[in-house]
Amino acid sequence: MVWDRSRVWLPGHLGVLTRWVPPSLVDEVVRAADRKERRVRLLPARVVVYFVLAMALFTDCGYRGVWAALTAGLPGPLVPDPSTAALRQARRRLGTAPLALLFDRLRGPLGTADTIGVFWRGLRLVAWDGTCLEVADSADNVSYFTRHGARTTRPAGYPQVRLTALVECGTRAVIDAVFGPLRHKELPQAHDLLPALKPGMLLLADRGYDGFQAIRDAAATGADLLWRVQAGRLLPVIHPLPDGTHLSLITDRRSGDRLAKWLHRGRISPLPSALTAITLRVISYQITITAADGTSRTSTVRLVTTLLDPSKHPADELAAVYHQRWEIETAYYGLKVTLRGADRVLRSHTVDGVEQELYALLAVFQITRMAITQAATATGIDPDRLSFTIALRTARHTVITADASGPARLAAILTHAHNLAAPQRRSRTSPRCVKRTLSPYAYNKTRGSAGHKTAVTTNVTLLTKTARP
């Protein structure tokens, strides 16, 4: 039987998603990373890249199971049949660089002017936040990534990698992402994302990012900010605005002491001229949620923004826009639960393997979002209504059947009336609590932590400030 060398390239596909990761792109990143083979192997570098991407689609399968999915729909009996050891060695030979370069080619905002829900008053809504993913409990991973701190004498579960991403709210596409050991904190990681911020973006962030340096550096990129701040932060009324909001100053520590002394003296002297400060607009409002059973709760939210003109950017609209920040949490759910699998640990036992695997997860997540956004834009539907789960399920089927010619069919499935979410989703409440306790006797504390869909009425009331405190 004569061996046909051309058949070694056949497993180099990703089903319908090959449309967004064509062989030409894979060959480009392989050459750029200097991983091009000098002789044709049973597992060429291009095929190994697709194999690693398929691992992200079939996270519940071993190496042989992933390879079987890639080759099940291929014709003929002469498709290569490598062993588990050969696939493992091919991964190590490929390394991290090609997957990192591939993600770098794919990342970025996807929404256009024709995509519903991406822009607010001409500004592209984006958000950043951090999360953690569990990795295999190997000696290399524990040494590099480390476990989270435990308050008991028992080991604190699996080692974790910390990931911080900048996400486009309207499409949940990953604009950029950085990750590293657990000791790397969210603020330094967010600083590494600053080059991805551009003028014309409105960056949403929660209370963990309200430090002076973070606000200063993010504003210096030209992007506008809409951030929640902690309740105890000093935000004096420097200039009241007619809509009930006011201009204030956020300072560094030294200037903050000088500003506090000036306020304590009753403002009898002019405002100190040498303050290191940023002028921001403060929006305070209350949210009252009334459930179907008549119970209600009220919380106060304070936002700061670089959008200083109340006539161009109304406070009530900004209060509503801020809650789009939750889209990054939905994106993380899609990455960590829908794609990776609930409570699943990354399979790699080496640091390089973990990084390679995580870049593959990010790349597959992004190309799936590309497919969803393209289908939504073409049909004039909000991308929020298209199911990420259905897109992944369809993509897995096309990998198994080796059907790489059906982007239109994928779009038709995603936009079918039976598969679309409702235009207005029901409100949902979820109490804040620890969902993974470190004590084996504390599971009862997690009861009621899941989100509950219920009929609620939400009122947003601006807290006006008409005079200086």
User: Where are the strands (E) in 306-383, listed by range?
Assistant: none
**pLDDT tens per residue, range 238-287:** 889 998 899 988 888 777 777 777 777 766 666 767 777 889 999 998 88
Give the C-alpha distances (Å, rounded to integers) separating 206 from 326, 337, 362, 370. 10, 22, 23, 27
Cα 35 from chain centroid (whole Å): 29
Q: At a CB cut-off of 8 Å and minimum separation 6, what does 218 contact?
A: 194, 197, 203, 225
- How deeply is 425 buried, as exposed, middle or buried, from its count of CB atoms within 10 A (0-12, 13-18, 19+)? exposed
At 169, give phi and psi (nearest 5°): -65, -40
Its pTM stands at: 0.90
The closest of 137, 131, 164, 181 to 337, measured between CA atoms, is 131
**444 has a pLDDT exceeding 60:** no
Q: Are 161 and 182 in contact (CB under 8 A)?
A: yes
Per-residue model confidence as pLDDT tens digits over 183-211: 888 999 999 999 999 999 999 999 888 88
Domains of the chain (ranges, CATH numbers): 5-105 (no CATH), 107-330 (3.90.350)
Q: What is d(CA 264, CA 167) in angstroms, rounded to the nearest whole number?
A: 41
CB under 8 Å, gap of 24 or more: what pairs does 297-304 form? 300/231, 300/463, 301/228, 302/228, 302/229, 302/231, 302/233, 302/235, 303/226, 303/227, 303/228, 303/229, 304/210, 304/215, 304/225, 304/226, 304/227, 304/229, 304/235, 304/248, 304/250, 304/280
Confidence of residue 170 (pLDDT cuts 50, 70, 90): very high
DSSP 381-439: --GGGS-HHHHHHHHHHHHHTT--S-HHHHHHHHTSGGGPPPSSPPPEE-----SS-SS
Cβ atoms within 10 Å of 62's Cβ, excluding its own: 13
Tell me how far CA of residue 367 lies from CA of 16, 95, 399, 437, in angstroms. 10, 21, 14, 34
Burial zone of 186 (CB within 10 Å; 0-12 exposed, 13-18 middle, 19+ buried): middle
The pLDDT of residue 154 is 65
CB 191 within 8 A of CB 213: no
Beta bridge partners of 123: 120
Which position has the token pair 């050459």?
Answer: 31
Mean pLDDT of 358-375: 97
Structure confidence at residue 467 as a pLDDT band (50, 70, 90): very low
Mean pLDDT of 169-184: 95
Question: What is the band of 26 on the pLDDT scale with cuts at 50, 70, 90?
Answer: very high
Read off the tokens for 23: 């062989």
pLDDT at 198: 96
Q: What's the whole-number mean pLDDT along residues 368-394?
A: 95
What 8-state DSSP symbol labels residue 143?
A: H
Name the pLDDT band for 74 (thresholds 50, 70, 90): confident
Q: Residue 346 has what DSSP assignment?
A: B
450, pLDDT greater than 70 = no
pLDDT higher than threshold 90 for residue 112: yes
For the record, the structure tokens of 374 come out as: 């393209």
Token code pair at residue 336:
């960590």
Arithmetic mean of pLDDT, 45-55: 96
**What is the structure's pLDDT at 249?**
86
469 confidence band (pLDDT: 50, 70, 90): very low
Per-residue pLDDT reduced to its tens digit, 389-441 = 999 999 999 999 998 777 788 999 999 999 988 877 666 666 655 555 555 55
Residue 331 and residue 383: Cα distance in Å, rounded? 12
d(CA 449, CA 428): 12
pLDDT at 324 over 70: yes
Locate 18 and state its tokens. 């090959």
Residue partners of 105: CB distance under 8 A and separation at least 6: 25, 28, 29
Indicate the range of 4-13, 136-145, 204-213, 304-313 predicted with least confidence: 4-13
**The token pair that represents 163 in the structure block:** 């990931």
Calculate the CA dihedral of residues 133, 137, 141, 145 and round it to 10 degrees: 40
